[in-house]
Amino acid sequence: MPDDGTDRDVAQWADREIFSSHGHLEVISATDGGRSLVAAYRNATWGQMRTRWAFTVTNGKVSRFETGQA
């Protein structure tokens, strides 16, 4: 999964950016059937920022996602 264009290990990234830093996502807008989001994201490490999220769904499951500043 890329974060601002840099490939990351999803398990390590999720632990660092979401779970151990108390990440919170508030969706501002959604397009493409909910597969593309603009959101206010905040965590204890970085504070709050406007982010973009893009999800690829394969066989009904998220197979890839990308995020970065919007």
Q: What is the DSSP letter of 35?
A: T
Q: What is the pTM of this model?
A: 0.89
| Cα three-residue angle 3-68-64, rounded to 5 degrees | 55
The fold for domain 2-69 equals Nuclear Transport Factor 2; Chain: A, (3.10.450)
What tens digit of pLDDT does each residue of 1-52 get? 999 999 999 999 999 999 999 999 999 999 999 999 999 999 999 999 999 9
Contact 31, 15 (CB under 8 A): no
Q: Helical H runs in the chain? A: 10-14
Contact 37, 50 (CB under 8 A): no
Q: How confident is the model at residue 67 (pLDDT cuts 50, 70, 90)?
A: very high
